Structure 1
Amino acid sequence: MIKLSNIEKVYQTSNIETLALNNINIDIKKGEFVSIMGPSGCGKSTLLNIMGLLDEPSTGTIAIDNKPVEKFTDKDLAYLRNQKIGFIFQSFHLINDLSILDNVEIPLLYRASTNKSRREAAKEALEKVGLSNRMKHFPNQLSGGQKQRVAIARAIVGNPEIILADEPTGNLDSAMGNEILNILLQLNAAGSTIVMVTHDENMAKKTHRLIRLFDGSQVS
């Protein structure tokens, strides 16, 4: 599903060269739920961004469904992201001036779909995360846990095969964090391939596999 081979990522300024990722080799199989753990600054989010085709590696290769993406145009990459990948961010990234329903519809605006089909898909996604009664509310009327559920609904509205979650429970208390993890486990059981960055060892243990990073390198 996602294969990274010999990935390195170097950030360079006029005076400093920083090796963010060093010789990363990961093969995520279809239907897996994989956690990525490591201390702050070890390259977890950089790795997730590369998996999601939001960032390019300095060296190495990326393949999605056995198709190398190095020669893809920006338009091809944007299409692949929109069709196959759903993103969940720690800070939600909701638009406060839009209703919850409108926020969830956003990924579908880049597809050739009708207003009616977009609206129905957004309603269905919100029902899956238990927020069908909040569709007309705005983000500032929701709790942190509810905002994260909206972010999950937005990530799954286009039925992506892959869900990439960057600290999806990081801003939540333990009870709400477990609620969010249970939603992800349900999505995985329904067939979604999920990669989750987390600091929570107990949550990581509930996934299929754990990848640890330290100073940009895999340590397990």
Structure 2
Amino acid sequence: MITLKNIEKVYRTTRIETLALTNINLSIAPGEFISIMGPSGCGKSTLLNLMGLLDEPSAGQVQIGGEVVTQYRDRELARLRNRKIGFIFQSFHLINDLSVIDNVEIPLLYRKGDAVGASRREMAREALEKVGLSNRMKHFPGQLSGGQKQRVAIARAIVGRPDIILADEPTGNLDSAMGNEIMNILQQLNAGGATIVMVTHDETMAKQTHRLIRLFDGALVGDSVLARTDD
């Protein structure tokens, strides 16, 4: 599903060069639920951005679904992101002036032909039902709790029925009860077939996934298969 080969990422300015990732080789199979851990500044979010085609490597190759995408043009990358990848962010990134259902519809606005008008609305309703927020469709983000906002963000991520969900600290701004609620939703999505990659600082949350990747100073230093609790 996702393959990274000999990935290196360097950020350069006129005065300084920062090596963010070095010699990353990683394969993620369809249906896996992966967590990525490491200290702040170790490259976790950079790695997630490369997987999500939001950034490009300085060296190496990125494959999504068997396609080598490293040399894709911006328009091709945007189309692939929109159809195959859903993003969940720690800070929700909801638009306060839009209702919940309008926020969820946003990714579908960039599609042509197969998701227009009433179809978009129905897909948004279905996504909100999956996260248990069908009774909040007409509310605005300012009327929601933190946990509810994150559920809206998850609905927005899955509305286009992506194969891959990338989550950057999805429980980081929530208390433990709300964090567990979000993890339950992610586990249900994974059980439904979604491949999920989650960056987290929370060891307890990480242990609820299938596999734990550890980074340190931009290098992959650990790759552990975790005990499955659903067998």
Both structures adopt the same fold (TM-score exceeding 0.5): yes
Map 1:43-62 to 2 at 5 A. 43-62=43-62
* Residue pair 2:61, 2:68 contacting (<8 A) in 1 also: yes
Given that residues 109 and 116 in structure 2 are in contact (C-alpha distance below 8 angstroms), is that contact kept between their aligned partners in structure 1? no
Structure 1 residue corresponding to 2:174, chosen from 172, 175, 199: 172
Task: Output the CA distance in 2 between the equivalents of 1:70 and 1:173.
Answer: 38
1:150-192 per-residue CA deviation (whole Å, 9 max, x = no partner) reads: 0000000000000000000000000000000000000000000
Given that 2:99 and 2:140 are in contact with CA atoms closer than 8 Å, whether structure 1 keeps it comes out as yes
Q: Unaligned regions of 5+ residues in structure 1, if any?
A: none
Give unpaired runs (5+ residues) of structure 2: 223-231
Q: What TM-score, normalized to structure 1? A: 0.99
**Aligned partners of 1:167 and 1:70: how far apart in 2?**
26
**What's the C-alpha RMSD, in Å, of the aligned pairs?**
0.6
Paired position in structure 1 for 2:83: 83
For 1:196, what is the secondary structure of its paired residue?
A: strand
Within 5 A, what are the aligned runs for 1:203-218?
203-218=205-220
**TM-score using structure 2 length:** 0.94
The alignment partner of 2:82 has SS state of: helix
Match of 1:194 in 2: 196
1:1-220 residue pairs with structure 2 within 5 A? 1-112=1-112, 113-220=115-222
Q: How far apart, CA to CA, are the structure 2 residues paired with 1:70 and 1:176?
A: 37
Q: Percent identity, aligned pairs only?
A: 78
What is the Cα deviation at residue 71 of structure 1?
Answer: 2.2
**SS of equivalent to 1:158:** coil
The total of aligned residue pairs comes to: 220
Instruction: Extract structure 1 runs of 4+ deviating beyond 3 A.
Output: none
Q: Distance in 1 between matches of 2:201 and 2:12?
A: 27
Letter of the aligned partner of 1:182 in structure 2? Answer: N
